[in-house]
Copies of this chain bind each other. A is one copy, B any other.
Amino acid sequence: MIDILGIGNAIVDVVARADDAFLSRHDMHKGGMMLIDAAQAEALYAAMPPGIESSGGSAGNTCVVAAAMGAKAAYIGKVADDQLGAVFRHDSLAAGVSFATAPLIGGAPTARCLILVTPDGQRTMNTFLGACVTLDESDIDPALVASAAVTYMEGYLFDPPAAQAAFYKAASLAHAAGRKVALSLSDAFCVHRHRAAFRDLVKGHVDILFANETEIAALYETNTWEEAVAAVRTEVGLAALTRSEAGSTIVRGSETVQVLAEPATVVDTTGAGDAYAAGFLTGLTAGKSLAICGRLGSYAAAEIIGHYGARPEADLRGAMAALG
């Protein structure tokens, strides 16, 4: 029995410092995630300052945080049979997250995200999907999906076409087994790229939706927070909408729960949403109330934004005992 099965783009992050002029010269939208091809990745890497490598990927981050909080987590994602793939696999297993997806052999290298951190602390991401684009339905292990209380998928999966099909297969297998399907919208630009598909997906295939303010506004093309909350209420069974330091709003049918953000010294906001989802789902799969789920989400997000990087530096197992 697994609590959370994450499915996502298996990506190694390469983080370097850069100034705003560097972003302008390379046509980047600050704070966003842009897809780049192999040639662009090579050119950008050559132009980038020295970097630091670590495992990343939105759903991968969520699984690792959930495991650190005591949840049983497993992951499906496609790396290549190369050194960065071995790094990603090691980091997952060492964090206590099962990861058995077969690597891609003899094809594109493991995906990497070239991340530029500007002096204001914002991160601008450039993703070369590499081996990720080959994640397909054959990578979805039916027994694994059936054994997971929640199958959690990232919106970024809609960028590689074969992964979309894998998404639908996983959702269908989960529901056939009486399990829940959760989706994170990932990024407002990603929502703009796939709005119609996401609208259909949320309404017809998703039980639990995670989104931040700009993502939910992009999905429903609303101008106000109230309109977005009203729209999501009629479209999905359970939604957890995050608003950074203003906390989160949890919506289930006519029920609405407001949750405060945990006080935190902000060092790096990367992975805050991934961590919130991890805390929330760890609580939910342990049978906690929505208010407690939200507090666990806030707690996990506060830990992640208190240091550089999207994976936890502390053992978070105490949170369930303290808050739950």
Selected from B50, B54, B64, B110, the residue in CB contact (under 8 A) with A64 is B50
Chain B residues with Cβ below 8 Å from A55 are: 50
Interface size, A (range): 20 to 34
Chain B contacts of A199 at CB under 8 A?
Answer: none
- Is A45 interfacial (CB 8 A cutoff)? yes
Main secondary structure of the interface of A (DSSP, over half): mixed
How many identical subunits does the complex contain? 2
Which residue in B54, B94, B95, B313 is a CB contact (below 8 Å) of A53?
B54
Residues 79-96 (chain A) with a chain B CB within 8 angstroms:
82-84, 87, 90-91, 93-95
Distance (whole angstroms) from the CB of A69 to the closest CB of chain B: 15
Which B residues are CB-close (under 8 A) to A46?
90, 93
Contact call A311/B50, Cβ cutoff below 8 A? yes
The answer to whether A49 and B83 have CB atoms under 8 Å apart is no
Contact indicator B53/A53 (Cβ below 8 Å): yes
- Min C-beta distance of A317 to chain B, whole Å: 15
**Who on chain B is nearest to A51 by CB?**
B91
Report B-chain residues with C-beta under 8 Å of the C-beta of A48: 90, 94
Q: At the interface, yes or no: A109 with Cβ under 8 Å from chain B?
A: yes
